[in-house]
Amino acid sequence: MKTDLFEAPDYYNLDDLLSEEHKLVRSACRDWVKRELSPIIEDSAQRAEFPKKLLSGLAEIGAFGSYIPEEYGGAGLDQISYGLIMQEIERGDSGIRSTASVQSSLVMYPIWKYGTEVQRKKYLPALATGELMGCFGLTEPDHGSNPGGMVTNFRDMGDHFLLNGAKMWISNAPFADLAIVWAKNEEGRIYGLIVERGMEGFTTPETHNKWSLRTSATGELIFDNVKVPKENLLPEKSGLGAPLGCLDSARYGIAWGALGAAMDCYDTALRYAKERIQFGKPIAATQLQQKKLAEMITEITKAQLLTWRLGVLRNEDRVTSAQISMAKRNNVDMALHIAREARQVLGAMGITGDYSIMRHMMNLESVVTYEGTHDIHLLITGADITGFSAFK
Ligand code: TGC
Ligand code: FAD
């Protein structure tokens, strides 16, 4: 079994900006990733299987609802702790971070923020322990970047709602116990509904043949005249802003997560370059490999500062959606670029599963697309600074 030798880069002593609690949370996650995730993840990725045995450990390190108040079973931690948890998990694998961020930001968050007290008490404690797992259905076959055009709909039938439509590319769908589904009512207003596995007419076929995010289970959500109890509507927020509010939280976590993947690629490439001898000297002693490594640590350091500042703003409830977009876009692009460069530093060894880099690279091809594509986040920044929306 391989030993995980990861050593986190901290070129600008950014640990000085973290509290003792932040460091403790991070250290617990890092230890867990080294001990439980790293030894099995390559095998799960090769077999394209979600490793369900990690669920209880993820719950123990606070990966499910770290910022949800303790009265609902969450860990009651701040946003920087949440970010550090996402960073450490994605340092291990983006697919596992996906499972955790969907559960926290896309399932627990909307129940906490838009649900009733009865819904909070019924679902949140079991979601925090992983006893219940959830998924988030926004994207449809014909509405990806433009979710406002969704056609999934529900009708008021008096004593229940009748839900029809389909969602696609849904993380956790094949095994989730419940789905937060975004659908339009008769007036075309978007609401979230809690749809539970077992409801008649609700199916979740798995999506196969992915070369990316192979440790994360992806599927469809199909609703064929599903009777949803009225008490399963999330009443406190409606309109496209409701799902987009959840995405703010998830995109924030992804900005941290991508940083973790980048740190792992850099650390692996640095270690390999120092050990690999060609032409009688370590390749780390050549200018070209130093250029790659120096540029990697520069970009990681810039992204660390950006992400930390974003966390402070989020803790103070001062962050804007556009600021989150900038960090998600920058950090995922940075991580993907570093993964490609790091892969080259390892030469042929870089394409094997003996190292994590190629897996990170393939995973990041999904991360750059989901939760708003690279292009969409650029257009969000463009609209924010100019005042003109270029989407439509
Ligand atoms: P637009 O007219 O701009 O806005 C409609 C309403 O929404 C409000 N709003 C937001 N509210 C909260 N947070 C945000 N980030 C918000 N952005 C916009 C806005 O104020 C407005 O409210 P109101 O009250 O005036 O109606 O909407 P638009 O139709 O022009 O679209 C804007 C756009 C393109 C930015 C948005 O549709 C978008 O972000 N598209 C990308 C779609 C996306 O990110 N999908 C992600 C699906 S989930 C996923 O990928 C999970 S992966 C999980 C994993 O495994 O980790
Ligand atoms: P499209 O919207 O068709 O975009 C195609 C291309 O056109 C992109 O390059 C895009 O940037 C570009 N484009 C689109 N509009 C414009 C424009 N106005 N101007 C310029 N360029 C534009 N969704 C969920 O709801 N829940 C999930 O759990 C979830 N998990 C996912 C897991 C994986 C592995 C993947 C790959 C996706 C997941 N998604 C999920 C879906 C994801 O959010 C969408 O794929 C994403 O929003 C993009 O939609 P699309 O694939 O339909 O691309």
- Tell me, in angstroms, the distance from the centre of ligand 1 to residue 148's CA: 8
* Residue type at 125 in one-letter notation: P
Ligand nearest to the CA of 377: 1
Q: What is the DSSP string of 81-93?
A: HHHHHHHHHHHH-
Summarize the confidence of residues 249-271 as an average pLDDT. 98
Range 241-253 average pLDDT: 98
**Domains located in the chain, CATH noted:** 14-128 (1.10.540.10), 134-234 (2.40.110.10), 241-386 (1.20.140.10)
What pLDDT does 1 receive?
Answer: 59
Tell me if 8 sits within 8 A of 263, measured CB to CB.
yes
Residue 217 exposure: Cα atoms within 13 Å on the Cβ side: 17
Write out pLDDT tens, residues 10-61.
Answer: 999 999 999 999 999 999 999 999 999 999 999 999 999 999 999 999 999 9
Say how far apart CA 38 and CA 23 lie, in whole Å: 20
Model pTM above 0.95: yes
Tens of pLDDT along 340-366? 999 999 999 999 999 999 999 999 999
Residue 139 Cβ inside 6 Å of ligand 2? The answer reads yes
- From ligand 2's centre to the CA of 367, what distance in Å? 10
* Residue carrying the six token digits 């299987």: 49
Q: Give 212's contacts (C-beta < 8 A, 6+ positions apart).
A: 362, 363, 364, 365, 366
Q: How far apart are CA 92 and CA 257, in angstroms?
A: 10
What's the rounded Cα separation, in Å, for the pair 358 and 44? 14
Q: State yes or no: pLDDT of 147 exceeds 70.
A: yes
What CA–CA distance (Å, rounded) separates 104 from 61? 13
187 is catalytic: no
> Whole-number mean pLDDT of the chain?
98
Residue 213's region, left for phi above 0, alpha for psi from -120 to 50, else beta, is: left
Distance 15 CA to ligand 1 centre (A): 33
The closest residue, in CA terms, to atom 53 on ligand 2 is 144
- Taking the C-alpha atoms of residue 234 and residue 257, their distance in angstroms, rounded to an integer, is 28
160 with 227: CB under 8 angstroms?
yes
Residue nearest (by alpha carbon) to ligand 2 atom 4: 145
